[in-house]
Structure 1
Amino acid sequence: MAKIGIGIVGLGNISAAYLKASKQFPVLDIRGVADMNPDAAKARADEFGLKAVALDALFADPSIDIILNLTIPKAHVDVGLRAIEAGKHVYSEKPLGIVFAEAQKLIAAAKAKGLRVGSAPDTFLGGAHQTARKLVDKGALGQLVGGTAYFMCPGHERWHPNPAFYYEQGGGPMLDMGPYYITDLVNLLGPVAKVFGVGTMVRSTRTITAKERAGEVIPVHVPTHVSGTLIFHNGAVVQMAMSFDVAGHKHVPLEIYGTNGTLIVPDPNNFGGQIELLKNGGEWANIDTDMPYADGNYRSIGLADMAHAILADRPHRANGDLALHVLEVMEAFDTASRNGAVVEIATPVTRPAPLSENLTKGKVS
């Protein structure tokens, strides 16, 4: 199999998940890792049997085709632009950027050079979400009416060793968790047309309880409870709430409503999970997942799909246009909250193509 050379920038908390999952996709050949902290790069390289190099050397390496950008959110666009300037494709952790206008510059720069941008999340390519997509596409729900999308917790300072960035510009529950939910909704329902909502910040500081920095107080600079409504181009209306201020809740992560039935979609932060379907006049029924990539953490499948797409000269699914659309939608919640008005979404996007039903593990088609 032909391979695509991958260079990783940023060896923080999420990099281990990518490095473990990438071993399941033979098309990915990781040829170097780099970090502003050379010790972090060396430690991760030693852990996975890779080569740690300086940042300049990584960007200059002609054997690297895609820069996998796993830096913190506020560095995503700068690192992406540097990759484009070096003549390389870039695949970023979510979100694509923390400011829509800045992320637009990244997409424009890539298109001007004929290079690709990809972005997490890729969980919508998981077997459970692709099975849910198939049910929607086959008309199991009838005419689509709407849905709900909920993520609410007490905050990431409970478990994350360095949680401060979740409460700085570029953080908050919407930019952190919103990408999973909105991307899966676009996968299921198509593009968003309008947004209205409100965001609140109920505390100006948070106290870390994770053992690494327990007791440290950090400031809060972003809304930590965001709620509102997405209106899709197909007419579906979805209520959404993302919060770091709630002890717990009993809403399921995603429900999709149609004139003929209701679909329970598993947590979009995971690749698998139980799907449930209620048809009009019937009973709730568990739906078996009949697509691959539902039985583990495949955080690299979007990168692998991008690599296969480069080789086959076809569009990739977790693409820059999709990520930019999702970022515009997330930013629209803040704009709507500040202005007290409905915000129209301008970015065009096409629903990503569904995965083939005949995939074998290790391939993406």
Structure 2
Amino acid sequence: MGLCGGEGSEEREREWEEAAEAVAYDSCTWPPPVVAVCGPGNSGKSAFSRLLLNTLIGSLYGRIIDQFNWWLTQVAWKFWSCSVLLVTFVLSDQFSLLFHSNRYKRVAYLDTDVGQPEFTPPGFVSLHVLEEQTKDLTMLYLRPPKRCFFFGDVGAHSNPKLLLSYLFGLYDYFLQELYCFNETDNPQKSAIPLVINTSGWVKGIGLHVLSEILRYVSPTDVIRLCSPSEGKNLPDGAFWLDGHQGDSRVNLIVIRASQNSPRHLLVKKEARMIRDLRLIAYFRQCLPRDFPVFSCDDLVQGFSAIDPFQLPLSKIQVSGGAVYDFLNGTIVGLGSSTCLPLSSECSSPWCIGLAICIDDVGRVVFS
């Protein structure tokens, strides 16, 4: 599967698969699991989240059925005639349908990592609903979210309170629309599992934000990836609980991290490059599919040929008049006052897309 490289990668791969299957087996009970994947940066959180998503969507039960069919085939060949063998396959198909009818058709994915999100450009926190197993989460694999907010930064340090309000708003939406237990006649609103991908910043403000997320969500399972460098790891146990506060009945699974790269500065440089490429891929969608792009100059030429959207500054509800002096040349999130989340924790509108402000002449913003 190639989940992680380096020495002992095969053992780590088996350990990861066992952890994902443990969550999936437990998810046979009700309610569906809410799983948070935590660990330091460059530890493999994204790769494990992908494995867990694919396991919850159905690969685990497919393996059970394959093993059951193989066993029935061996028994039939040894003890029964060919006619009975045909009946055996029919029965195994019925057994397969029984299992497949119980597996999850959809899995929700809450991405809380504004610096390196998996399906959106940087600066977003988002909620997705996946109906099929995911491909490798490559740098240009963008997916429209179910709901999202644009935080506008790659770290929580600038405004952790605002970031938490966005994350709580997304989780409240998940509870209201995707974790329902009394909507049996509406498959679009039935309860589904949730996988939460978290930031690799696990010290200082990063640890505070992660602890607040876990306290608010109260996950059924927490997967903690552990680095060989002890100083990089999260605290042991249910670190987010204040002693007696909260429900400590959480399934905590500790697994080894993927092989960490010692090239700290190179990793940071690669992260910046990936963020830039994701933004380019996002705005590339404004151009025709057959538009040739071989360099940055081609992108500039393509974007300059697009008629800009004009928005009077009087229509923009932003506090503080000085902010207008800094709009030119910035990337902004677009929202609508009619798209407000039904959450007591967040009053900001859902983000509906990004724009590049290219001018602010005559009290009008062009984007």
Q: If you compute each CA radius of gyration, which structure gives the higher value, 1 or 2?
A: 2
Which category of TM-score, normalised to the shorter sequence, fits these structures? under 0.3
Higher fraction of helix? 2
TM-score when scaled to structure 2? 0.24
TM-score when scaled to structure 1? 0.24
Higher fraction of strand? 1
